[in-house]
Chains A and B, each alone.
Chain A
Amino acid sequence: MAEVAEVKGKRRVGFKRWLILGFIILEIILAGLYPPIPPAVELAAEPLTDTVSIPILGDVALTNTILTVFIADILLILAAIAVYRAYQGGGLQAPRGIAGVFEMIVEAMYNLVQSVAGSKWARTFFPLVGTILILVLTVNFMKLLPGMESIGFVHEIHEGEGYDLQAFGPVSILAEPAEGETGHYNIIPWFRPASTDLNFTLSIALVAMISVQIIGLRAGGIGYFEKFANFRNFIKMWAREKLGAFDILMPFIDIFIGILELIAEFARIISFTFRLFGSMFAGAVLLGVVGSLFLFVQTGFLFLEIFFGGVQAFVFAMLTLVFLTMATQTHGGGGHEEPHEAH
């Protein structure tokens, strides 16, 4: 009995916590030897290869954000294969490991989709919403991996401020230039979190909003476009014998509302794009700046970034879901807007 307790006690003082302590001590030593530098902030993604001209697409280069998206895709495909393998055996046993994680995410997400969109549309919306959630979540969390935005090609810059090179074994690292001098080197990172690139967020926003239009068309038929150009009352106006003030005013109000709806659709694309981009870009800059100023405070900000990455992915997926649901609902019974009620 005593032996069992001792074994349990031994297990509690595990190996991993010593590993973590070792990393912390290593961090202190390394940061003392090579002080961290504030990062170079680039708004646009940096190309890693030479540009290649492709007939339709124009000049294309492999940028560091695309590389990160490819890695995220490969990770997700591997995860999908692993989950598929885990369920291959069949049976009703509880899933373990990565299959359990994905079952949890998928189940929670499906319940959410069903509660917002109703069971009629849930199966249609779920693949899109779930894909957006998992992809954005993966890409956002990849920002927290070590090596992101810090390993890459060193290149010489001719204008502006840079850093000095310092030998570090077989590789060289950047260091703060000496007092009163400006360095001439900077870094093009190999990996950069994809959601800090406008192209990534814009493309997902476009996919989401185009899907909203398609779903609206499927749900409401051609009458869906009445939302944007409502001439129903306008046509009625010609048919009327006697015209009151409202009968003339209402058609124009309807047309104006249609224009507003059209603007709102584009505003949603922009809002989708900049919400994710702004949040993640600011987070990356924040992590870099804080990491260069204070040594240990960055750990707290990493937790903050985990939270923000999760919240932004959730919000992106939820808003897509809400817009999809709205597109199916607004024109279910939209044709019954009688002008008499407005009087």
Chain B
Amino acid sequence: MLIKDFGGRTMNHNFGRKTWLGALIAAAVLIGCDSVGPPAFRMNMVAAVSTDPPTSPQYQQEIADVLGALFGTPDEPFALPETGLDVSKLRQSAGPAWSDEEGYNYGLYRKHCVHCHGITGDGRGPTAQFLNPYPRDYRPGVYKFKSTFNPAKPTHDDLHTVLINGIPGTAMPSFSLLPGSEVESLVEYVKYLSFRGQMETKLIAFVYDELGEEVAEDESGNEIRDEDGNLVINRPALDPTQNVDQRDMVLEMLAEVIEGWNEANDQIIAPEEESIPAEDRTPEEVLASVEKGRELFYGTRANCIKCHGPTGLGDGQQDDHDNWQKAHKKFLEDTALMAENIDRQAGEDDVDWDQLAEEQELLAAREGVTETLYSLRNAIPRNLRQGVYRGGRRRLDIFRRVYAGIAGSPMPATGPASPGAKGTLTEAEIWNIVDYVVTLPYEPSSQPQRVTPKYTEAIAR
């Protein structure tokens, strides 16, 4: 219609048509996207399509249904009692944003969080792709800034702290002006989105490992074909209503997820009293500790220099990625490889067209997903000269970063991996590094830290 209208016609002749067209467009703009219905949780398609062979659309639907049964919808959250989640708090955070007559606020997640973290908590809200770093994807249940050992979940208080303090140096603001009950409600909701995301990954793995389409066989083990000569495919459904064992297994997976979160309180890193530097250290004592920290920073035991660079500017090893980006990178690379293989096979003499068509279909499914991914980013080690500490600027915060590393990032632990295990460094040594690191912002960034910082005395106070 539009194209046909182009050319030849006079303005007068066209006027009525134009008005009509304008009305149509306005109507389309106004109505168009409202037809998508209430917000819905979306599937982790990278995970669903990454399995080899990928999760079929039928299984995807069944997984979505099981997740719906376990967790409800963004408007109507649900949690089984064994999750320990407080459904009334979830209800306060879920749904559209509104306030009642007494001034109580609801729909907190959509009011404060969704534009970055997305309705599913996948870190893909409308603003997400413009931010650096990207907002956290809650679905793997991995959080960087916490008080626990590297592989452990964060405690409730850890998430609470992040909401109160925000994350300096990132787009994550502080929500300290919200009433305490609202922050609590949001922490609960974030956990809920992680539970859901972790269950999703587990269900995808379960379907892949235990179910899946298989060629049907008769009793003597021969393939069965239908009248048209096509192989008959059996597809055991994921259906906890019909299969009690599946139901039990889903609940067991949920129990595993919850257990990880419940254990967090036993995994808090509490520094040994005797290693904590005294508050009344003399400048000489501080200087000696800074000196030891500097040696460790540059040495082959702590290896800080390798990534944070000889000047502490974060300009060492920059080729790596965090775990969220690694998953996407692998997905993108594999998809590119598949496309390459298909192109090459198509050019060969003896082409198995059936197989090629099958692969083409898989590739199309993957490419649909790759189109939605944001551009890849490297994990850039922190510039320690800025004095901006994402996980908090208290000495204890920095101690825990060095001790446990940063979960999901390339930053390794120097302390033990779990309670009772042996660390690479002693706690005293980690405090030495903390002493050194906090001096770094007090030197001009052009000056390599080969010498002891000048302002140690001032820092000691």
- Our verdict on whether A and B bind, yes or no, reads no
Residues of chain A at the chain B interface (Cβ within 8 Å): none
